[in-house]
C-alpha cells in the first residue's frame, strides 16, 4: 500500500454517503461530534447574519438550511491580492466549471441576501463550507491553507449537536480534509463508526456488560484480525491518548469493519448470550478478517498493517510483513 496522498477532491455526497452521514449522526459515543467552544452559545437561526474576520478582512455569512453560507467575493478579497474580487470570481467560475470539471458548481451557489456597503440587504453569491473549501483549493494564494484551517473552525461555530447532529459529522469530515485525509479514508472512517455501533448494540442485547467486557471482546477481534491487541496496535503507531481508528489507514479500517461485521453476524446466527459465547463469536469473526488480511497480503507481497499515524511528524513507513 502506498503512502496516502493529500486530499485533492471534494467529497461527493451521493445518496449512499448521505445515508452514512445520517447514521453516523445518531451515534453519540464515538466522539466525532465536537462541542462548540462556548457551550452556552445560542442556537443559530435561519437567516441569521454575522461578520467573521480573517486576517482583518470581514467575511459576511448567513445561516441557511441548517448551515453557514459565506460570501464568495468577501473570501476572494480576503485571500487574493486583487482590488477586483467580483471580476476574479467571474473568471474563477469559468475555470472551475469548464477547465477543472466542477460542473455542479452553479447548483451549489445560492443567491442570499447580505448587508451591502450601503447598509441595505442585497443578494450575493454564497456557498456552504464544503463548496467554499473546494473553491479555495483552486485559488493560488499563500493565504489559502491558512484560510482552510480558519474555515474548519468558524464554519460550524455556534451550531450545536442537538440542533442538527449531521452538522457535527460534517465538521469532523472537514477537519479530516484539512488534515489531509483521503476521500477513501474518510468514507471508511464513517462506515467504521456505523459498524462499531451495530456491534456494540448487538452486544448490549446479548448480555455483554459495557466497559471492560466490550474492551475484552474488542481485543479478541483485534488480535485475530491484526495479530495485535488494541494497545499494542496503538504502540506500534506511536499513539498514547489518541483514538486508534482515527490513525488507521483505510485498509486497516476496512479489515476492522470486516472483523466486527463478521462478529455481529456470527453472534446473531449462533444466538450467543453472555460474555463467554460472545467471546467465541468475536474470535471467529476476527479470524474471518485475519484470514482475508493474510490473503490480501500474500497477493500484495507486504503487510497492510501500518506504523503510519496522522500526528504531525508521524512515520508513514509500513511494516515489512515479517
Using the structure block, give the residue that is written with the C-alpha cell 484560510: 147
- How far is residue 75's CA from residue 61's CA, in Å, rounded to a whole number? 10
* Mean pLDDT, residues 259-271 taken together: 96
Helix axes 72-79, 85-94, angle to 10 degrees: 110
Dig out the grid coordinates for 277 from the structure. Answer: 459465547
**Averaged pLDDT score across all residues of the chain:** 83
Q: What is the pLDDT of residues 10-35, one digit of tens each?
A: 444 455 777 888 888 777 434 433 34
Can you give the pLDDT at residue 32?
37
Fold of 37-160: Mlu1-box Binding Protein; DNA-binding Domain (3.10.260)
- How far is residue 92's CA from residue 76's CA, in Å, rounded to a whole number? 10
Q: pTM value? A: 0.66
Question: CB-based contacts of 27: which residues, under 8 Å, 6+ apart?
Answer: 193, 194, 197
- Beta-bridge mates of residue 122: 114
- Beta-bridge mates of residue 115: 121
- How far is residue 167's CA from residue 198's CA, in Å, rounded to a whole number? 22
Dig out the grid coordinates for 146 from the structure. Answer: 491558512
Can you give the pLDDT at residue 9?
44
Q: What is the pLDDT of residues 189-240, one digit of tens each?
A: 999 999 998 999 999 999 999 889 999 999 999 999 999 999 999 999 998 8
Q: What is the 3-state secondary structure (H, E, C) of the chain?
A: CCCCCCCCCCCCCCHHHHHHHHHHHCCCCCCCCCCCCCCCCCCCCCCCEEEEEECCEEEEEEEECCEEEEEHHHHHHHHCCCCCHHHHHHHHHHHHHHHCCCCCHHHHCEEEEEECCCCCEEEEEEECHHHHHHHHHCCCCCCHHHHHHHHHHHCCCCCCCCCCHHHHHHHHHHHHHHCCCCHHHHHHHHHHHHHHHHHHHHHHHCCCCCCHHHHHHHHHHHHHHHCCCHHHHHHHCCCCCCCHHHHCCHHHHHHHHHHHHHHHHHHHHHCCCHHHHHHHHHHHHHHHHHHHHHHHHHHHCCCCCECCCCCCCCCCCECCCC
Helix axes 15-25, 165-178, angle to 10 degrees: 110
Can you give the pLDDT at residue 222?
96
Would you kindly state where each structural domain of the chain is located, as residue ranges?
1-35+165-322, 37-160
Query: What distances in angstroms separate CA 224 from CA 4, 230, 262, 286, one per listed residue?
Result: 26, 11, 12, 5
For residue 318, is pLDDT > 60?
Answer: no
Can you give the pLDDT at residue 159?
59
Can you give the pLDDT at residue 158?
59
For residue 3, is pLDDT > 60?
Answer: no
Dig out the grid coordinates for 117 from the structure. Answer: 456597503
For residue 310, is pLDDT > 50?
Answer: yes
Can you give the pLDDT at residue 274?
96
Q: What is the pLDDT of residues 76-108, one digit of tens each?
A: 999 998 889 999 999 998 888 877 777 788 888
- How far is residue 41's CA from residue 49's CA, in Å, rounded to a whole number? 15
- How far is residue 33's CA from residue 11's CA, in Å, rounded to a whole number? 19
- Beta-bridge mates of residue 114: 122
Q: What is the pLDDT of residues 124-171, one digit of tens each?
A: 999 998 899 989 988 988 899 899 888 887 877 655 555 667 777 887
Can you give the pLDDT at residue 10?
45
Can you give the pLDDT at residue 29?
39
Please, what is the Cα angle at 48 between 42 and 54, to 5 degrees? 90
Amino acid at each position: 500500500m502506498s503512502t496516502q496522498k493529500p486530499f485533492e477532491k471534494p467529497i461527493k455526497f451521493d445518496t449512499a454517503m448521505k445515508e452514512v452521514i445520517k447514521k453516523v449522526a445518531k451515534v453519540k459515543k464515538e466522539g466525532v461530534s465536537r462541542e462548540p467552544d462556548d457551550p452556552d452559545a445560542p442556537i443559530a437561526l435561519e437567516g441569521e447574519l454575522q461578520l467573521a474576520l480573517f486576517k482583518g478582512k470581514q467575511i459576511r455569512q448567513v445561516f441557511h438550511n441548517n448551515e453557514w453560507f459565506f460570501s464568495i467575493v468577501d473570501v476572494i478579497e480576503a485571500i487574493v491580492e486583487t482590488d477586483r474580487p467580483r471580476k476574479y470570481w467571474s473568471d474563477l467560475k469559468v475555470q472551475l466549471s469548464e477547465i477543472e470539471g466542477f460542473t455542479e458548481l452553479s447548483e451549489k451557489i445560492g443567491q442570499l441576501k447580505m448587508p451591502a456597503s450601503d447598509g441595505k440587504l442585497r443578494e450575493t453569491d454564497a456557498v456552504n463550507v464544503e463548496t467554499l473549501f473546494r473553491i479555495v483549493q483552486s485559488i493560488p494564494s499563500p493565504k489559502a491553507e491558512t484560510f482552510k484551517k480558519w474555515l474548519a473552525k468558524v464554519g460550524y461555530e455556534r451550531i450545536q449537536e442537538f440542533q442538527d447532529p449531521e452538522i457535527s459529522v460534517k465538521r469532523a469530515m472537514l477537519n479530516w480534509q484539512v488534515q489531509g485525509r483521503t476521500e477513501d479514508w474518510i468514507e471508511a472512517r464513517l462506515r467504521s463508526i456505523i459498524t462499531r455501533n451495530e456491534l456494540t448494540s448487538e452486544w448490549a442485547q446479548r448480555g455483554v456488560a459495557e466497559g471492560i467486557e466490550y474492551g475484552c471482546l474488542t481485543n479478541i477481534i483485534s488480535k485475530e484480525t491484526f495479530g495485535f491487541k488494541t494497545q499494542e496496535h496503538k504502540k506500534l503507531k506511536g499513539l498514547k491518548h489518541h483514538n486508534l481508528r482515527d490513525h488507521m489507514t483505510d485498509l486497516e479500517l476496512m479489515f476492522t469493519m470486516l472483523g466486527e461485521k463478521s462478529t455481529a453476524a456470527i453472534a446473531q446466527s449462533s444466538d450467543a448470550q453472555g460474555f463467554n459465547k460472545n467471546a467465541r463469536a468475536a474470535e471467529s469473526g476476527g479470524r474471518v478478517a485475519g484470514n482475508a488480511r493474510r490473503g490480501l497480503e500474500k497477493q500484495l507481497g507486504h503487510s497492510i498493517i501500518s506504523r503510519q499515524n496522522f500526528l504531525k511528524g508521524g512515520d508513514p513507513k509500513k511494516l515489512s510483513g515479517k
